[in-house]
């Protein structure tokens, strides 16, 4: 497979959305780092994504185009709702119970999925054209540093994705990941934002 790098814009976003809806993989800029995406409800595409990342048994997050879409995907309790309203759109991924059936690889059978509404308008436009949901794992082999440029993503994933949308060099950190259970808020990965009152995860 030949991987093409194209500048991100209305036409390339539309092209990438067609790739996603056809079961393909795409790399795209987010407000944090470059993301590797596919249709989260397409089991074959999700399997290909895991193979491309050599992801193993780690769950992957899903990006949503809006709070409304996120509420369809997960069961959002009052604590999660407050955090989402404060930090979305932005660099906070919230792990919550899934409300829709997803391929096993996404949540590894946990029944929980990390979701985020990004702030970058081009990223949101792509997600919207993909149907409101897009896997949002970082565009790199598992265990490697996240890619900050399209060229880095090509080096990592060339030949395994159809198209890379080039949004220039990204300066952000990976999203902060928290898990919300009841009123408990646990930080699983510290990243782009700091959440007040959250406790650190202990293995």
Please tell me the distance from the alpha carbon of residue 63 to that of residue 29, in angstroms, as a whole number. 12
Output the pLDDT for position 63: 98
What is residue 184's DSSP assignment? E
* Helices 10-21 and 121-129, packing angle to 10 deg: 40
CA distance linking residue 150 with residue 157, whole number of Å: 10
Instruction: Provide the residue-wise pLDDT of the chain in tens; the chain has 203 residues.
Output: 899 999 999 999 999 999 999 999 999 999 999 999 999 999 999 999 999 998 788 999 999 999 999 999 999 999 999 999 999 999 999 999 999 999 999 999 999 999 999 999 999 999 999 999 999 999 998 888 999 999 999 999 999 999 999 999 999 899 999 999 999 999 999 999 999 777 876 65
pLDDT of residue 198: 77
Cis peptide before 139 (omega within 30 of 0): no
pLDDT number for residue 184: 93
Residues of the domain holding 113: 4-200
Residues near 140 by Cβ (< 8 Å), separated by ≥ 6? Answer: 36, 53, 146, 147, 152, 153, 156, 157
Please answer whether residues 45 and 39 qualify as being in contact, where contact means their C-beta atoms are separated by less than 8 angstroms: yes
- Read off the CATH number of the domain in which 112 is found: 3.90.870.10
pLDDT at res. 114 = 98
Residue 177 pLDDT: 97
Q: What is the pTM of this model?
A: 0.95
Specify the number of domains making up the chain. Answer: 1
In whole angstroms, how far apart are CA 94 and each of 30, 44, 89, 141? 16, 25, 12, 23
Quote the pLDDT of residue 39: 98
**How far is the C-alpha of 98 from the C-alpha of 85, rounded, in Å?**
19
């Amino acid at each position: 497979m030949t991987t093409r790098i194209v500048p991100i814009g209305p036409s390339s976003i539309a092209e990438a959305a067609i790739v996603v809806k056809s079961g393909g993989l795409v790399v795209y800029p987010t407000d944090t780092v470059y993301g590797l995406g596919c249709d989260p409800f397409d089991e074959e595409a999700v399997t290909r994504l895991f193979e491309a990342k050599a992801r193993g048994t780690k769950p992957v997050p899903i990006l949503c185009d809006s709070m409304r879409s996120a509420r369809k995907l997960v069961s959002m309790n009052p604590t999660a709702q407050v955090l989402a309203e404060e930090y979305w759109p932005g660099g906070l991924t919230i792990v919550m119970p899934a409300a829709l059936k997803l391929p096993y690889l996404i949540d590894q059978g946990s029944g929980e999925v990390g979701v985020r509404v990004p702030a970058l308008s081009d990223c949101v436009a792509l997600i919207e054209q993909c149907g409101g949901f897009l896997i949002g794992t970082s565009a790199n082999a598992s265990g490697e540093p996240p890619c900050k440029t399209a060229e880095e993503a090509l080096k990592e994933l060339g030949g395994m994705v159809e198209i890379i949308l080039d949004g220039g060099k990204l300066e952000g950190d990976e999203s902060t990941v928290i898990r919300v259970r009841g009123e408990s808020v646990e930080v699983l990965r510290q990243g782009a934002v700091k959440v007040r009152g959250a406790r650190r995860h202990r293995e």
